[in-house]
Amino acid sequence: MEGIHRLDQNPRKALPRRSLLGYLASAGAALGLGSGASAAEPKAPDQSPRPFPSPLAELPRLRNYRARRSSSADRSGGNADYVSIEPGATATVLETAGPGTVTHVWFTIDSDEDYHLKKLILRAYWDGEKEPSVEVPVGDFFGLTLGDYFPYQSALTTVASIKALNAYFPMPFAKSARITVTNEGKIRTDSFYYNIDYITLPELPSDLGYFHAQYRQAAPCAGWTNDWKKNSDDLVNTKKNLTGEGNYVFLEAQGKGSFIGVTHGVLQNQDGWFGEGDEMIYVDNDPRLSILGTGTEDYYNGAWNFGGQPFAYLHNGAPFIVNFEKVGGRYCLYRWHTESPITFENSIKVTIEHGHANHRSDSFYSTAFWYQSEPHAKFPVLPASELRIPRTFEVGGPGPAPLPRTE
DSSP-based three-state secondary structure for 260 = strand
d(CA 49, CA 25): 7
Decide if 231 contacts 356 (C-beta within 8 A): yes
Instruction: Give the residue among 89, 119, 151, 370 at the shortest CA–CA distance from 255.
Output: 370
At residue 2, the pLDDT reads: 38
At residue 122, the pLDDT reads: 98
d(CA 137, CA 63): 35
Domains 64-205 and 211-388 share a fold: yes
For the chain, the farthest-separated pair of C-alpha atoms sits apart, in whole angstroms, at: 69
At the fourth CATH level, which superfamily is domain 211-388?
Protein of unknown function DUF2961 (2.60.120.1390)
At residue 19, the pLDDT reads: 37
At residue 3, the pLDDT reads: 40
d(CA 364, CA 350): 14
Decide if 393 contacts 363 (C-beta within 8 A): yes
At residue 105, the pLDDT reads: 98
H or E segment to which residue 29 belongs: helix 18-30
> What is the rounded radius of gyration, in angstroms, for the C-alpha atoms of the chain?
22
Q: How do the domains of the chain map onto residue ranges?
A: 64-205, 211-388
d(CA 29, CA 104): 18
Strand stretches in 219-307, DSSP E: 248-254, 257-267, 279-283, 291-292
The four Cα atoms 340, 342, 345, 348 give a dihedral, to 10 degrees, of -170
Instruction: Choose which CATH entry (3.30.1390.20, 1.10.1740.10, 2.60.120.1390, 2.60.15.10) describes domain 64-205.
Output: 2.60.120.1390
DSSP-based three-state secondary structure for 331 = strand
pLDDT averaged per 10 residues, the chain (length 407): 38 36 43 38 49 74 92 95 98 95 98 98 97 98 98 98 97 97 98 97 91 98 95 93 95 97 98 96 90 97 97 98 97 97 97 97 98 96 97 94 62
Give the distance from CA 381 to its chain's centroid.
Answer: 17
Cis peptide before 220 (omega within 30 of 0): yes
At residue 55, the pLDDT reads: 75
d(CA 90, CA 54): 40
d(CA 392, CA 395): 9
